[in-house]
């Protein structure tokens, strides 16, 4: 009773203080208002935060300790006191040879895990010599057509001693099969492989638009990958459920979280339906989030994500292993927040976003390079991005304690408010009939489009200041950028044609025939795909074989 009385007293005092402040500064309020709002539906609506803003806050239920349910403060008891997050710089350009050199350069500079960026043809399941690949080979990532490319990509890199993250979705099972085949060729036990394949197709339909097959066969490929990993590659994360691209498309922090977690729960349901038990696979699921400009909102978003996921897994599926409720996630700083104007400003933006990810408790981190909006990163730019992580880790002191902002009235208010808004979206998605049906009806796509429009209008009206873009504008000297010449495409096309001439034609044909038969049935497809890549079938050939059975996805008119 005394506690409630004290909160009421604090609330009354806060109201008195706020009323006096607003009376004395009334003429300034309209122009100051945007400073106290965010894109996430005006979550921040106050000038100062007190215990009155978290009236129902219960320490053990909502905060607790790190490493304990609901994991608001982090999934490990000691967090960064025990181990620094994995530092990954997204890398890939040109052919496998160029990217292999970049990998070795980054490892020499202190990077602690690899992260592979693939070019657009590979992401879409086309070979480099396909007509639709023209002009795109090696441009936005590395071109991978066959196992031969994978062999060159990881030449002299010990797969059993380094973790690898691969950002690819529709053809994820094919690329993963190549990585497995490479390990087996080197005599490495699959149980020693560690890393992540993104493998998240639902967010492709929502945001990134790099799909091949319709939703249901696509989800089958994902559950087959998860099932295969459970039995054969226990240290591997077979999916990285991604909010990053949802945010890059224009979503708010709340939308990023709501749609990503809904995707994740859809995959869990699919795995359960496929005959897996929650404790067999839930501990190997991982997530991938964006860290945007609003420092405190991003920190609160990460904390809310862990708490919501833990609660939903616990209440929906009743796991016996507490690891099943832990959310592990990778973070990338916000590429969409960076500007071509005054590119050196991007170093500062990235540092702020990276710090938010660390204070939010990320398990691994990619920091964008200052030339993100102009080209793939140069060695100079990517080194600065990596050094940003290293300075935060070793010089800032933020790793000395777990969740240093936990208990802040403002942070706890924001965490609670984001959680509340996420559950409103959960309710809407459930009313539609689940995430797959919501995607087919265009619900998340339209919500994101509205938020993107709001954000753009705020910039155009200068309600939101972007330094160097709509305020503090000046001409600056252009910076050096990485150039990808036409010779890259010519070399890659020559290489893939050479592979087709050298391989065993009978073995190749037989492997694709067996894959097609398995796709028409109910067998796990991973062993058949691995068999095909070992026969040096290409990404395009394997994807075309599956298209014959699954068909291709055509997006309905949504707007």
pLDDT tens column, 120-157: 999 999 999 999 999 999 999 999 999 999 999 999 99
Are residue 11 and residue 43 in the same domain, yes or no?
yes
Are residue 12 and residue 140 in the same domain, yes or no?
no
Write down the pLDDT at residue 484. 93
| 515 falls within a domain | no
User: What's the start-to-end Cα distance of the chain, in Å?
Assistant: 54
Is residue 290 helix, strand or coil? strand
| 442 falls within a domain | yes
Mean pLDDT computed over every residue of the chain:
93
Are residue 98 and residue 198 in the same domain, yes or no?
yes
pLDDT tens column, 405-429: 999 999 999 999 999 999 999 999 9
pLDDT tens column, 177-192: 999 999 999 999 999 9
What CATH number is associated with residue 228?
A: 3.20.20.240
| 497 falls within a domain | no
pLDDT tens column, 204-229: 999 999 999 999 999 999 999 999 99
* CA 171/CA 198 separation, integer angstroms: 10
Are residue 174 and residue 30 in the same domain, yes or no?
no
Are residue 35 and residue 94 in the same domain, yes or no?
no
Are residue 53 and residue 90 in the same domain, yes or no?
no
pLDDT tens column, 442-455: 999 999 999 999 99
Domain span at residue 50 reads 2-59
* CA 95/CA 156 separation, integer angstroms: 16
Write down the pLDDT at residue 283. 96
Are residue 270 and residue 193 in the same domain, yes or no?
yes
pLDDT tens column, 251-262: 999 999 999 999
Is residue 61 helix, strand or coil? helix
Are residue 276 and residue 312 in the same domain, yes or no?
yes
Are residue 38 and residue 162 in the same domain, yes or no?
no
Write down the pLDDT at residue 32. 43
| 278 falls within a domain | yes
Higher pLDDT, 335 or 6: 335
| 277 falls within a domain | yes
Are residue 32 and residue 122 in the same domain, yes or no?
no
Number of CB atoms found within 10 A of residue 510's CB: 14
Are residue 124 and residue 220 in the same domain, yes or no?
yes
Q: Does residue 43 have a pLDDT over 70?
A: no
Total number of domains constituting the chain: 2
CB 336 within 8 A of CB 453: no
Rg (the chain; Cα; Å): 24
Are residue 51 and residue 86 in the same domain, yes or no?
no
């Amino acid at each position: 009773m005394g506690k409630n009385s004290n909160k009421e007293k604090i609330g009354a005092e806060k109201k008195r203080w706020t009323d006096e402040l607003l009376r004395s500064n009334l003429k300034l309020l309209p122009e100051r208002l945007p400073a106290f709002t965010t894109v996430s539906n005006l979550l921040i609506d106050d000038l100062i935060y007190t215990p009155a803003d978290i009236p129902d806050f219960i320490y053990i239920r909502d905060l607790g300790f790190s490493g304990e349910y609901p994991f608001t403060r982090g999934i490990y008891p000691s967090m960064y006191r025990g181990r620094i997050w994995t530092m990954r710089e997204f890398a890939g350009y040109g052919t496998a040879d160029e990217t292999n050199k970049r990998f070795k350069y980054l490892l020499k500079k202190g990077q602690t895990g690899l992260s592979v960026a693939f070019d657009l043809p590979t992401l879409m399941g086309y070979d480099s010599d396909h007509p639709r690949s023209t002009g795109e080979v090696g441009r936005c990532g590395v071109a991978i057509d066959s196992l031969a490319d994978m062999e060159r990509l990881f030449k002299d890199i010990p797969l059993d001693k380094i973790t690898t993250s691969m950002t690819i979705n529709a053809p994820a099972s094919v690329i993963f099969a190549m990585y497995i085949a490479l390990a087996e060729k080197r005599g490495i036990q699959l149980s020693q492989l560690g890393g992540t394949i993104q493998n998240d197709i639902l967010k492709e339909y929502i945001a990134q638009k790099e799909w091949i097959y319709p939703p249901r066969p696509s989800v089958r490929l994902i559950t087959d990958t998860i099932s295969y990993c459970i039995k054969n590659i226990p240290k591997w994360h077979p999916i990285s459920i991604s909010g990053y691209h949802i945010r890059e498309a224009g979503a708010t922090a709340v939308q990023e979280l709501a749609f990503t977690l809904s995707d994740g729960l859809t995959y869990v349901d699919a795995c359960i339906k496929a005959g897996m038990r929650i404790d067999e696979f839930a501990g190997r699921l991982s997530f991938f989030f964006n860290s945007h400009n609003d420092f405190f909102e991003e920190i609160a978003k990460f904390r809310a994500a862990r708490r919501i996921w833990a609660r939903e897994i616990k209440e929906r599926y009743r796991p016996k292993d507490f690891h099943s409720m832990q959310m592990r996630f990778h973070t990338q700083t916000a590429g969409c927040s960076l500007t071509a104007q005054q590119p050196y400003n991007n170093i500062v933006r990235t540092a702020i976003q990276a710090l938010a990810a660390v204070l939010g408790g990320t398990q691994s981190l990619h920091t964008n390079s200052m030339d993100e909006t102009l080209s793939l990163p140069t060695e100079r730019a990517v080194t600065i991005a990596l050094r940003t992580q290293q300075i935060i880790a070793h010089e800032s002191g933020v790793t000395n304690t777990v969740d240093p902002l936990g208990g802040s009235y403002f942070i706890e208010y924001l965490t609670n408010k984001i959680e509340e808004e996420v559950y409103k979206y959960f309710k809407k998605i459930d009313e539609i009939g689940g995430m797959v049906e919501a995607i087919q009806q265009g619900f998340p796509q339209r919500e994101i489009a509205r938020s993107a429009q709001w954000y753009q209008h705020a910039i155009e009206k200068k309600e939101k200041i972007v330094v160097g873009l709509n305020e503090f504008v000046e001409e600056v000297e252009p910076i050096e950028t990485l150039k990808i010449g036409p010779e890259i495409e010519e070399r890659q096309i020559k290489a893939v044609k050479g592979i087709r001439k050298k391989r065993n034609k009978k073995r190749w044909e037989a492997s694709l025939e067996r894959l097609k038969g398995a796709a028409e049935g109910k067998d796990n497809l991973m062993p058949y795909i691995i068999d095909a890549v070992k026969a040096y079938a290409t990404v395009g050939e394997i994807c075309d074989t599956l298209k014959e059975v699954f068909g291709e996805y055509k997006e309905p008119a949504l707007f």
